[in-house]
Structure 1
Amino acid sequence: MEKQIQPFDTRAGFQEQLRVCIAKARLSLQVFDPDFAIWELGSSEMDALLRHFLSRHGRLALIAHSNTELERHAPRFQRLLRDYSHAIECRRSSPALRQLTDSFCIADQLHLVRRYHSDHFRGEAVYDSAPDTQVCSERFTGMWAESVPGLSADTTGL
C-alpha cells in the first residue's frame, strides 16, 4: 500500500481520522493523551469500533496523565474495560512525563494519528507507513516503561 497523509485542524477532522485509524487496526493500538477528554472513548460509535477490534484478539494499550475523564464521563469505556480486561491495559504516566502535551494513536505500527499539542486539534494522520510511526512508537515504549497501572475494571466497582 502507498503511504497516505491526511492533515486535520478541527475536532471533527481529528475524530474522523481517529475512527479510520482504529478501523484499520488488526493487532495493536497504542494510544497516549494527557486525559482523553476529546477522544470520545465513551461514545457508542467508538465503543462499537473498539469492541470489533478487541473481539478479533486485538490489544489496546493506553497511557494518560489523568484517568479522571474516563472514570467520570465514559461509562461505555468502563464496560469495555470490564468486558475485555484481558486485552486492555490502561496506565498513568509518571510525574516526570507530565510535561508531554502531544497526543497520538498508533495502529499496528503502521498507521498514526497525531495531534501536535493536546490543547489544539491541528495534526495529521499517516496510513500505511511504518517509518512514520517509529518515533511515536519508541516514545510510547519508553513512556510505558515509566508508567504505573492506572484505570482498571474494578476502579469504579465494576
Structure 2
Amino acid sequence: MEQSSQPFSSRMEFEQQLRGCLARAEHSLDLFDPDFSLWNLGHSALDAELRRFLAGHGRLRLVAHSNAHLQRMAPRFLRLLADFGHAVECRQTPAGLRQLSDSFCLADGAMLVRRFHCDHLRGEAVFADSDAIKLASDRFESIWSESLPGLHASTAGL
C-alpha cells in the first residue's frame, strides 16, 4: 500500500473515510473517542461492516470516556457486542484520562482515521505511514492499558 494522507473536514468525509478503513480491516480495529456520538456505530451499514470484520475472526477494541451514548443510541452495536462478545472488548477511561479530546480508528496497524479534536470534524486518513501509525498505535496501547472494563452486553440486559 502506498503511503498517503487524505485530509477531511466534514461529517460526510469523516464517515466515508471511517467506512473505508473498516472495509479494509481484516485483523484488528482499535477505536478511541470520548463518546462515539459522531461515529454512527448503531447505523445498519456500519453494523454490517463490523459483523463482516468480526465474522472473519477480527478483533475490535473500543475505548471511550463514557458509554452512555452507545447504550442509549446504538442498539445495533449492543446486539453486535452480544453476538461477538468473544471478539469485542470495550473499556472506559479513568478520570485521569478524561482530558483526552482526539478521536481515532486504527486498523491492522496500517490505516488510521483520526479527528484532531472530538468537537470538530477536521482530521485525516493515513495509509501506510509507519511513523504516524506507530504513534497512534502506541497512544492507543497506552490509553488501553490505563482504561477499565466498560460496556458489556449484559449492561443492556442482553
Distance in 2, matches of 1:95 and 1:139, equals: 17
Which residue number corresponds to residue 144 of structure 1? 144
Render the CA deviation track for 1:61-108: whole Å, top value 9, x for unaligned.
000000000000000000000000000000000111000000000000
Render the CA deviation track for 1:134-157: whole Å, top value 9, x for unaligned.
111111111111100000010011
Specify every segment of 5 or more residues in structure 1 that has no aligned partner in the other structure, as ranges.
Answer: none
- Root-mean-square deviation (CA, aligned residues, Å) is 0.7
Partner of 1:20, secondary structure, is: helix
Render the CA deviation track for 1:18-69: whole Å, top value 9, x for unaligned.
0000111110000000000010000000000000000000000000000000
Q: 1:130 to 1:26 in 2, by over 3 A?
A: farther
Distance in 2, matches of 1:90 and 1:45, equals: 20
The number of aligned residues is 158
Displacement, 1:132? Answer: 2.0
**When the two structures are superposed, what TM-score results if normalisation uses the length of structure 1?**
0.98
Which residue number corresponds to residue 92 of structure 1? 92
Specify every segment of 5 or more residues in structure 2 that has no aligned partner in the other structure, as ranges.
Answer: none
Displacement, 1:128? Answer: 2.5
Q: Give the letter for the 1:25 counterpart.
A: A
Runs of 4+ with deviation above 4 angstroms: none
In the alignment, is the contact (CA less than 8 A) between 1:111 and 1:130 conserved in 2?
A: no
Distance in 1, matches of 2:73 and 2:136, equals: 27
Percent sequence identity is 56
